[in-house]
Structure 1
Amino acid sequence: MSNRRTFAVLGVSETKSIFLAKQIAKTNPVLLFDHDAVVVNEVHAQILLEYPKANAEMMICPTNASWEADIIILSNATGTDDNFIKKIRKVATGKIVVVLVNEKNTINFESTLDKLHHLFPFSKVVQSFESMDEVENSVLLKGNDEETLKTIWTLFTSIGLKASIAQT
């Protein structure tokens, strides 16, 4: 990705969210949010310790973080919380929304993606599934917009993930 984009990582208490926040912060601004302020402080401190030049900011409101971001990344917990989604839906309009999903817990991928498109009707939604491969940091991307999938694939591969796009 040639241009720097601002990312909101919402729900940084989950391992995959922390990993993504740290990796993205190497090259792009990151806005961090979690309902647990202690966790946000810890993740923020870890990022700045590992990458002193990182542009990472703690946010106290998911709506403000989403408003300021170009791309919104939701942890599995925040991506399945309807009340949380209602708070950010309007400010997610026209943006890419990546929902991190644990593939092992998802029964019907198609209905989940359809539900997310219904919840974010004016956003470009991508699901990122933890792969069941033996390869660590391997994800499968699923969505309805080919350009958006390529954008997220490029981001994920550039930060060290082994990403692949699901065939639709």
Structure 2
Amino acid sequence: MSNKRTFAVLGVSETNSIFLAKQIAKTNSVLLFDHDAVVLNTVYSQILSEHPNANAEMMICPTNASWEADVIILSNPAATDVNLIEKIRNVATGKIVIFLENKKNTINFESTLEKLQLLVPFSKVIQSFESADNSNDSVLLKGNDKEALKTILTLFTSIGLKANII
């Protein structure tokens, strides 16, 4: 990925979405959204504290954050929030939408990917979940769009994650 992209991270209240937002903010623009303003402010402050030159912005609306972004990252609670998905559906058209699966829920990952793809039918949905090796920096990626998978694999490896496509 030679050019910088803007990433919307929706639902920054989970460890994996916070970690990913911080890593991405080192080299790309990050738009942060969460329903909990205290959590949102805390994560924003942490990013700027750890990376003073980061281009991070707090957003009060998931639609605006998604509209401005090239790639949309959904935490597990955000991806299962049908109201939030409805708000971003039209602005997610043609964009990569990454769903960060909780480790606990990976048993049924196939149906989760299909369900989210139905909710945002004109997006390139990718599911990311922690691999079984219990390391925070190792993820598996699954999706139907090979080019989108390749793009996210490149991004994840460039920010220090060990990513594999399944």
| TM-score, scaled to structure 2 | 0.96
Structure 1 residues 135, 107: CA separation in 2 closer, same or farther (over 3 Å shift)? closer
3-state SS, counterpart of residue 2 of structure 1: coil
Structure 1: which amino acid aligns with 2:64? N
Contact kept? 1:113, 1:143, Cα under 8 Å: yes
Q: CA deviation at 1:140?
A: 0.5
Aligned to 1:72: 72
SS at match of 1:132: coil
Aligned residues of 1:67 and 1:91 also touching (Cα < 8 A): yes
How far apart are 1:138 and its partner, in Å? 0.9
| Residue range with higher mean Cα deviation, 109-118 or 31-40 | 109-118
Structure 1: distance between partners of 2:109 and 2:21: 25
- Work out the CA distance in 1 between the residues paired with 2:136 and 2:71: 24
SS of match in other structure, 1:115: helix
Identity %: 78
Q: Which runs of 5+ in 1 are unaligned?
A: none
| 1:102-156 deviations in Å (ceiling 9; x for gaps) | 2431332222211111011000000001112133321110000111001001111
What is the rounded CA distance, in whole Å, between the counterparts of 1:49 and 1:120 in structure 2? 35
Summarize deviations over 1:22-57 as a string: whole Å, max 9, x none: 110011010000001111111111111111111000
Structure 1: 4+ residue segments shifted above 3 A = none
Tell me the TM-score normalized by structure 1.
0.95
Aligned residues, how many? Answer: 166
1:141 equivalent to 2:141? Answer yes
The equivalent of 2:53 in structure 1 is 53
| Mapped pair 1:15 → 2:35 | no
**Is residue 29 from structure 1 mapped to residue 29 from structure 2 by the alignment?**
yes
Give CA deviations for 1:80-120 in whole Å, capped at 9, x if unaligned. 11111111111100100000002431332222211111011
Unaligned ranges ≥5, structure 2: none
C-alpha distance in structure 2 between counterparts of 1:121 and 1:60, whole Å: 25
